[in-house]
Chain A
């Protein structure tokens, strides 16, 4: 809190941010309970809500809104470097162009085939939903 009046209380702002964070949390749970037919809609919604919450915490609770330009100098390189590992792994682990030969992939193909022919892969009744499609 270096760049603004230290004697001035921010209690009101903090309370407003706290209420906003609670509302956002409730919205995430509602988004989950709504069970959209496309799971990607839920994913996009809850991650957007999480980003909004993160922004609230960083700007007000961590005082970044009131800090000078050093915050960019410190946080931008960190942010860019943090993305390096996921981006490096993505082509090989997240979206491999080849078909990896692991037991899980074979098992998944079997489950899909069993589900396709109207049977249950694990004979496991109704509680087991269809595995997701990617």
Chain B
């Protein structure tokens, strides 16, 4: 009795390696993940008339985005060339192009960090941005108040906030004591610091009272109290925020506005300027929907950057393998992931930098 030759085993499922199927299924979930971010960003923008688009306000740099797009495209190209080299049994060429992709990925992250630094420098961060003139004024007051507290704690380290408030009341006594003391170098420096902080405190009170009363700086501090009895509100000049600086132009805001006063009384003052070092008036610029913008920006680009880092880890694993035909599926999977990361950036670039 002859046996009929066994029929070839029926191959179940999709005719691709399991690893590749797994990667594609994962990319399917990734598509839904990023579409949620990008889609809600578009929907939020459509529903928010007045969304910030001015690059001088948002500090978005199209050239940084453009260069990064090119960097990712080039790295994607290198990855396919590397995969091609693996299939051609040329591991050294594959390794060279994979390494180049890693370098480009790191370059992408470097440019991205530079952009993030610009955002942090101008305080374009979720929850930090003033969205109206009034909020700008309050943000300024809070900033100056925090600086004041910082300088007080330099005078009295390890003190609590309440103790520092008491110290403020005693600052005059301290200054008188220091003036009476024999003037060695250390005492002179201490005296100078105490006097500067006292002056800074007086300026803080001046700012606070003008901002709380919403009265223009045309009214001197000493006359603020008199206005309390003024019944005709139209006679009280209201406080305006004032213009923000434009790049490459001299900045001279009117001195009766808040920004004008801050410039002349603090930023241009030789005693107080060091106490507000590093402060930019743009940090308090009101940006309508600025917080929503910053949340969307950091969410989308941040998750994209995390994916870039994961892609780089996959590449390093691939480079450490022999890159023989046996590794072709792994290289292809790492490449698929990297192309997906590129694909997301292809949409983020126009949506964030251009539209």
- Give 1 or 0 for each of A92-105: 1 = CB within 8 Å of chain B CB: 01111000000111
Which residues of A (1-40) have their CB < 8 Å from a CB of B? 1-2, 6-7, 9-11, 14-15, 17-18, 21-22, 25, 28-29, 31-32
* Interface of B toward A, CB cutoff 8 Å: 14-17, 20, 24-25, 28-29, 31-32, 35-36, 39-40, 42-44, 46-51, 53-54, 56-57, 62, 66, 69-70, 73-74, 76-77, 79-81, 83-84, 87-88, 131-133, 240-244, 246, 257, 286, 288-289, 332, 335-336, 339-340, 342-343, 346-347, 349-351, 353-355
Contacts of B29 in A (CB 8 A): 78
Beyond A22-B73, A89-B39, A123-B257, whether A14 also contacts B49 by CB under 8 A is no
Closest residue of A by beta carbon distance from B40: A89
Beyond A25-B66, A82-B35, whether A132 also contacts B50 by CB under 8 A is yes
CA of A74 to CA of B16, assembled, Å: 13
Contact A93 B242 (CB under 8 A): no
Beyond A50-B350, A62-B339, A111-B288, whether A104 also contacts B66 by CB under 8 A is no
Set B32, B57, B246: member contacting A125, Cβ < 8 A: B246
Give the top 10 A-B pairs by smallest Cβ distance, nearest first: A86-B39, A82-B35, A46-B350, A78-B28, A18-B77, A131-B50, A108-B50, A94-B46, A94-B43, A70-B14
Q: Give the number of chain A interface residues (Cβ < 8 Å).
A: 69
Closest residue of B by beta carbon distance from A28: B350
- Give the shortest distance, in Å, between B107 (CB) and chain A (any CB): 16
CA of A14 to CA of B57, assembled, Å: 39
- Give the shortest distance, in Å, between A97 (CB) and chain B (any CB): 11
Does A113 belong to the interface (CB within 8 Å)?
no
CA of A14 to CA of B78, assembled, Å: 9
Contacts of A11 in B (CB 8 A): 81, 84
CA of A58 to CA of B335, assembled, Å: 12
Contacts of A49 in B (CB 8 A): 350
Set B24, B28, B73, B350: member contacting A47, Cβ < 8 A: B350
Beyond A7-B87, A14-B77, A85-B39, whether A127 also contacts B50 by CB under 8 A is no
Q: Name 7 extra pairs, CB < 8 A, besides A43-B355, A57-B339, A81-B32.
A: A14-B80, A47-B350, A61-B339, A94-B42, A94-B43, A124-B244, A125-B244
Contact A107 B132 (CB under 8 A): yes
Contacts of B83 in A (CB 8 A): 1
Set A6, A17, A58, A75: member contacting B343, Cβ < 8 A: A58
CA of A128 to CA of B133, assembled, Å: 14
CA of A50 to CA of B44, assembled, Å: 20
Does A116 belong to the interface (CB within 8 Å)?
no
Closest residue of A by beta carbon distance from B136: A122
Closest residue of A by beta carbon distance from B14: A70
Contacts of A108 in B (CB 8 A): 49-50, 288
